[in-house]
A and B are shown apart, each in its own frame.
Chain A
């Protein structure tokens, strides 16, 4: 049988280091997700309002985030701003900033979309029962919005986790970078390590994202039509 190069993972602390790298990836994405929700939800509610100015500004923000490759954003924040403003930015902090900036934009757009997809009649029949605007929003609109939102935002989370592989470009030692280091270190002893190690990284991403996307499928099924 061919040597698949998995053996290097069982040398020393290699496997632990790889898992440590996975934790870095997950940590960055989870913190960024948290910020994206905290900032993106209010922003999305704001965006569903009719004000022209707010809509124009938020559209601009959204377009910028969508057009810019995440890598360029990372470089600007990490290399660009540290030079120009002379501050000292930790690579992981820079990553969280960039991912939050991106996630917040996507999240707000999802929230806006979910909010405006609630039929006008839902507001009206609630109002016709004597509910005031706040009650209508909290008890009628918000629960339906969250049901529509959750599967979509879970999808965003898995996209964010996957995209964290970019942060190694600014020196964050996350799972892919650790994998690379292990391969480099064992270049002579296990020349086939690339396959085994990268394959394992793939599997780790899968283990990280799969339950999340299963959860999203489950919720989608459970709440369908709602």
Chain B
């Protein structure tokens, strides 16, 4: 893995809200074609890491770079970096005043100044890929949560990003819609897309991850391949955490 080019480098960063350190001396690097899954208990800083990688959250110490270039929300270069570092959020925020097609096309036209016809053609192909062709002229409020989230993924893909960051994209969905969204992510992984995924869906994590990072209390507690982490967790905290996803058979008299 390390022979491939490093795309994102998070270098000894510290993130505080007021006095609380959410991340402390945290490092991570993401290489081309790699799928990194971040898991950990609620509030451990998973979303914060993704937001920092995209320059949405300032940091107090350390440095984040994208292909060697500094990622900082205050620098003018940030918009160019964000074109390349796509992000999909938990709460499927489509633009409610735009149709599905417009949602997908907007940034390519406004930011990348690409040809409208070409962008539209590609948007339609992407919609077909996630099975939502017939929704192209609908508005976001007319879609189910799972459909909206698939559109949000397609909207990020339309920018031709080099890396995609997914923050619990299924957490706000009804169980029966989780699958349709995760299938899209799995197919992206098969294509060799570089992704950083935060999820609570452990069987999905196991299936999709090249590398799993277990975060607890602002530290990287454990790191390993999917089978290393899920089948043979090394730390006590990781064992405990994984145990919360299993249920013991109720013994009855």
Contacts and interface: CB of A to CB of B under 8 A. Distances in A.
B142 to A, nearest CB: 10
Interface stretch (A53-61, A122-130, A206-214): A122-130
Contact of A122 (B54, B83, B95): B95
B89 A126 contact: no
Interface in B87-105: 87, 89, 91, 93-97
B39 interface: no
A147 interface: yes
B139 to A, nearest CB: 8
A225 B82 contact: no
Interface string B127-152: 00000000000010100000000001
Interface in A101-152: 119, 121-122, 124-132, 135, 139-140, 143-144, 147
B207 interface: no
B80 A125 contact: no
A68 interface: no
A170 to B, nearest CB: 43
A131 B107 contact: yes
A84 interface: no
A135 B79 CA distance: 11
Contacts, number: 64
A127 B73 CA distance: 10
B86 interface: yes
B250 interface: no
B191 to A, nearest CB: 21
B82 A129 contact: yes
B56 A124 contact: yes
Interface in B56-94: 56, 79-80, 82-83, 86-87, 89, 91, 93-94
B28 interface: no
A129 B107 contact: yes
Given A128-B54, A130-B83, A131-B79, A121 B93 contact: yes
Contacts of A1: none
A189 to B, nearest CB: 59
Interface in B172-227: none
B79 A130 contact: yes
A226 interface: yes
Contact of B110 (A127, A131, A147, A226): A131
B106 interface: yes
A132 B89 contact: no
Nearest 7 A/B pairs, CB to CB: A130-B83, A129-B107, A121-B93, A128-B87, A125-B93, A130-B82, A130-B111
